[in-house]
Amino acid sequence: MKTFSLIAGMTLASHAFSAVTQEPTNSQPHLPGVSVSFVGFTDTGTPKTHSVFVTPTTNQTIFGPKKSKLPGPTNLTISVPGGPAAVFRFTNASPYPTFLSVQSLEWKSASGWQGVPPSNPGGIVRPNSIQLLTLHVHATNVTWRMRVACIEQRTGLSRTIERGKEAGNELLTGQKTERFGGRTYLLTNTIPSPSSPP
């Protein structure tokens, strides 16, 4: 099974995680808790560049203050692409927080589906909620589809054990983490027909 540990306050792109794949057991439901659909296109404006000054913090642990291993203080430059973007809607009808990892973004050409690097790696959809994800695209007159890997949080005793690990990690490192090691499945967004709105 896949297990992801996310550090609170960090951007998703900077998370380091390892995963082990295991097929779902017969006791697990096979209906996805999260669905994804294409909403439409938007214009995110002109490209922007942000300069950020980062100073490593000292985390409070059970053993006392622990300095960050990151070098610093450091100036970071963050580039945000502008222009057209495709908007996708994730609906989580389940009671489980679910981690989303964008596997591919593709557009349909005359010769078939063509892949492009996704500009957003994904995120977390909380239980019984909706979240929008915006991905920059090069054209708005073609059909786009996205493939997403979903990993739910565990439940019952397994989740209790994970919560213990999260609390232990916070005591040792001073960092809050959230683990996702439950049921996994793949999604592809619904593609509207050309004759109807998304």
Q: Are strands 98-109 and 144-152 parallel, antiparallel or unpaired?
A: antiparallel
Read off the tokens for 149.
């890997």
Residues in the chain: 198
One-letter amino acid identity for 41?
F
54 found inside a domain: no
Distances (CA, A) of 175 to 39, 67, 116, 170: 36, 12, 34, 5
Kindly report the pTM of this predicted structure. 0.69
59 found inside a domain: no
- For each of the chain's 198 residues, which pLDDT tens digit applies? 445 555 443 333 333 333 333 334 444 455 668 999 999 999 988 888 878 777 767 766 667 777 766 666 777 787 777 899 999 999 999 999 999 999 999 999 999 999 999 888 889 999 999 999 999 999 999 999 999 999 999 988 988 998 998 898 888 877 888 889 899 999 998 776 554 444
94 found inside a domain: yes
Number of domains within the chain: 1
142 found inside a domain: yes
Q: What CATH number is given to the structural domain containing 135? A: 2.60.40
Task: Note down the domain range covering 162.
Answer: 4-23+31-43+84-188
